[in-house]
Amino acid sequence: MDDGEKNALLMFLEAQRASVRAIIDGLDDTALTTAVQPLGWTPLGMVEHLGYAERHWFQEIALGHADPLPWPDGDHAPLNTPRPPSVVFDFYSDQCARSNAVFASLPLSAPPIGRHPAPLGDEITDLRGIVLHMIEETARHAGHLDIVRELIDGKTGLGPR
């Protein structure tokens, strides 16, 4: 019934995910793990954060449960990570794939089983709200990464081609 809308929403989410990947593509380990702005977060930490967001919204909130993390939660400062790039990129890709599977398995009208704290938790009433939030979240952080990339090496306009 809602296949056209689901396809459109997934297309927009995938476009934002691709933007994140394109923006950080070509950065070496030092650039990925060095904060270049006053708040102290790193590009790699932001990618890990996006993996956590995918896991939280599509598993913990939509399904009401998530598989345990492969490392201790809270073992690092916010938006930073002690993990190497390959581990973080694999984590992000895996969480996106899991999100896509959850998204494919439920109707857009499916209410969340888990609960996110208010006020946002009060606003998210179905899978449609979850995917719209993740499009917004991913796009906002892609913008942050875009600015940081420009500060690192001057490159701009690095979205998917």
In-domain check, residue 160: no
Band (2; pLDDT cuts 50, 70, 90): confident
In-domain check, residue 161: no
**CATH code of residue 129:** 1.20.120.450
In-domain check, residue 159: no
More confident residue, 56 or 155: 56
In-domain check, residue 72: yes
Question: Average model confidence (pLDDT) for the chain?
Answer: 94
What's 26's DSSP letter?
A: T
pLDDT in tens, 88-103: 999 999 999 999 999 9
Q: What is the pLDDT of residue 3?
A: 87
Q: What spatial distance separates the first Cα and last Cα of the chain, rounded to whole Å?
A: 31
More confident residue, 117 or 99: 99
Domains in the chain, number = 1
Q: Which residue pairs, CB below 8 angstroms and at least 24 apart, start in 80-85?
A: 80/35, 80/40, 80/41, 80/42, 80/44, 80/45, 81/42, 81/44, 81/45, 81/48, 83/44, 83/48, 84/29, 85/29, 85/32, 85/33, 85/44
Q: What is the mean pLDDT of residues 7-12?
A: 97
d(CA 14, CA 156): 20
In-domain check, residue 122: yes
Q: What is the mean pLDDT of residues 60-82?
A: 92
Question: Is a pLDDT exceeding 90 seen at residue 73?
Answer: no
Band (161; pLDDT cuts 50, 70, 90): low
Q: What is the pLDDT of residue 158?
A: 67
Q: Which domain holds residue 126?
A: 3-153
In-domain check, residue 74: yes
Helical segments of the chain, H only: 3-24, 29-32, 43-54, 85-105, 120-123, 127-153
Local structure of 32: helix, strand or coil: helix
d(CA 106, CA 20): 26
Question: Is a pLDDT exceeding 60 seen at residue 145?
Answer: yes
Single out the residue of 58, 97, 91 nearest to residue 76, CA to CA: 91
In-domain check, residue 53: yes
Q: What is the pLDDT of residue 78?
A: 86
In-domain check, residue 158: no
Q: What is the mean pLDDT of residues 43-59?
A: 97
Cβ atoms < 10 Å from Cβ of 87: 15
Please give the share of the chain, as a percent, with pLDDT higher than 90: 85
Cβ contact 99:50 at 8 Å: no
Q: What is the pLDDT of residue 49?
A: 96
